[in-house]
Amino acid sequence: MKSSFDNKSLKKPKIKKKKDISFIKHYFKWFIVLWIIFSIFFLWANISNVLWSYVKKTVWLVVQKVSTVMSKEAKKDNLWNINILLLWVWWKNHDWWYLTDTIMIASLNPKLWTLTFLSVPRDLYVKYNKYSWGRINYIFAKEYLKTKDFSKAADKLKKKLKQITWIQINYYVLVDFWGFEKLVNNLWWVTVDVKKNLIDYRYPWPNRTYTTFKILKWIHTLDGATALKYVRSRHSTSDFSRSARQEQIIKAILYKFTESWILLSPSKMKNLYLQFENTVHTDFDFNIILWFVKYAKNIKIHSYVLNWDCYYKKTYWKILTPGCFVYPATRADFDGQAVLLPVWANSKNVENYKEIQKFAFIALWYPELWLENTKIQILNWIWNRFIKKYYRWYLKPVASNLAFKLKNYWFNVVDVENAWKIYKNNISYIYRKKIVTESLLNTFVWDITYKTWDVKYSGSGYDLTLILGQDYLLNQTK
């Protein structure tokens, strides 16, 4: 049947509405704007860093050039090093005024751009003259109170230190602790990386009292007072770590001095110079100070300290603190005083400086030793029965004893082992050439035959393998 057209309902076709994306365009537009702003900011920041780096480099080059032109070269010793006596003291407003709390010899090697510190303990017992004895830290104070002249007092201490170390000291720098605080504050503080927690329950305080100083392991920005406590604390750690902390602060101060924001600020430079004049006494003249400026930025620093750590406990060679050449004397022999004596010295002969002189010679005149940082392995190829016979039937650890001795002079001994066979001669296999280390090693082990490499040991992580043969004991003292 044919359907009628009228009976059909007309349906409107469905028209799909377009989605409103105007809000998407709006946010996208703002995204593009922000992205452009961020890109411009990022680009400008990079350009600024490049420009600032260029400015700092240019300023430093200008400073170096000016200092070179206007400076006067410093005096050198026989090996072309400049040796400086660094003293830290309290002034009259302290109970222990004019006693040298810190005594350091700083040796600058102009060719290698190295600065090496040797700290001498203030309790070292010495002869003042033919009729009197006492701690070394009183020499400066005694002479100054008599002459009222800093230079004469420093010369007196220089003379004694030359006798102890054989080092000819050219200049002196005397720093007041209170002035050190002000100097650090004028530099807008210094930043140091504290490697270990430090707690000192007996930090010296006025009126012969004590206070507690505590600083935790972290990267700290220290003000003057805290920096002073950090470098002076003695009862929390060893003198070696104290010397390392002083080295940290010296590095931080040198870094601050060479920052271009200081060099570009005449007012800051003027304040620092006035602070230097008020708190530092020295026999440098201004032209010599300018001569040192060029070394401030890229100088390599290392420090040693004469210490007695190995006498308080049985110290294994691996944990030995280098420079252990003094020991605490028996108090009864020195009227109850806590004093230190050189090794091999005693109450009747307090000035046996042979070992200290040898150590100072290597430490200050051969900075190449720590620059080369030669990794040394020691192998013992000596029969036990031969060792027993040599030491009257005692079996002594020959290789470990040598490692202890070398480590005490800062040779970087990293491994000691017994070898699997016997050998007659002393041999050293060299994997990476270390000229100064090899030459100094000959002063401790005689008749070494050097070979450049060996198949058996060439794959090791060492720079040098020293093999002790049967002849080693024949040249050693018992």
- pLDDT per position as a tens digit, 230-253: 988 876 666 667 777 887 888 888
- Please provide residue 134's backbone torsions phi and psi, each rounded to the nearest 5 degrees: 165, -175
Stronger pLDDT, 8 or 251, i.e. the higher one:
251
Amino acid at 361: F
Task: Report pLDDT for 5.
Answer: 46
Task: Looking at the structure, give the CATH architecture of the domain made up of residues 82-354.
Answer: 3-Layer(aba) Sandwich (3.40)
Mean pLDDT over residues 361-373, rounded? 95
Helix (H) or strand (E) holding 61: helix 22-70
Task: Report pLDDT for 179.
Answer: 80
Tell me how far apart the alpha carbons of residues 260 and 419 are, in angstroms, rounded to a whole number.
Answer: 56
Reduce the secondary structure of 284-309 to three states and give it as a string.
Answer: CCHHHHHHHHCCCCCCEEEEEECCCH
Beta-strand ranges (E) seen in 90-170 are 100-109, 114-120, 125-127, 133-135
- Please provide residue 146's backbone torsions phi and psi, each rounded to the nearest 5 degrees: -85, -40
Of the given ranges (32-36, 152-156, 344-348, 354-358), which has the lowest mean pLDDT? 32-36
Name the CA dihedral angle for 275, 276, 279, 281, rounded to a multiple of 10 degrees. -160
CB 254 within 8 A of CB 299: yes
Q: Work out the widest C-alpha separation in the chain, in whole angstroms.
A: 148
Across the chain, what does the average pLDDT equal? 82
The percentage of residues in the chain with a pLDDT greater than 90, rounded to a whole number, is 35
DSSP assignment, residue 196?
A: S
State yes or no: pLDDT of 88 exceeds 80.
yes
| Helices of type H across 125-188 | 139-147, 150-165, 177-186
- pLDDT per position as a tens digit, 307-321: 988 876 567 888 888
State yes or no: pLDDT of 478 exceeds 50.
no
Map out the domains of the chain as residue ranges. 82-354, 373-475
Nearest Cα residue to 307 out of 288, 326, 287, 293: 326
pLDDT band at 276 (very low <50, low <70, confident <90, very high): confident
pLDDT band at 255 (very low <50, low <70, confident <90, very high): confident
Mean pLDDT over residues 421-442, rounded? 85
Tell me how far apart the alpha carbons of residues 167 and 97 are, in angstroms, rounded to a whole number.
Answer: 27
Tell me how far apart the alpha carbons of residues 390 and 388 are, in angstroms, rounded to a whole number.
Answer: 5
Tell me how far apart the alpha carbons of residues 145 and 153 are, in angstroms, rounded to a whole number.
Answer: 9
List, as one string, the DSSP characters of 425-457. SEEEEESS--HHHHHHHTTTS-SEEEES--TTT
Of the given ranges (8-17, 260-269, 272-281, 325-334), which has the lowest mean pLDDT? 8-17
Please give the structure tokens belonging to residue 172.
């002196």
Helix (H) or strand (E) holding 379: strand 376-380
Task: Report pLDDT for 413.
Answer: 95
Task: Report pLDDT for 188.
Answer: 83
Please give the structure tokens belonging to residue 184.
């650090």
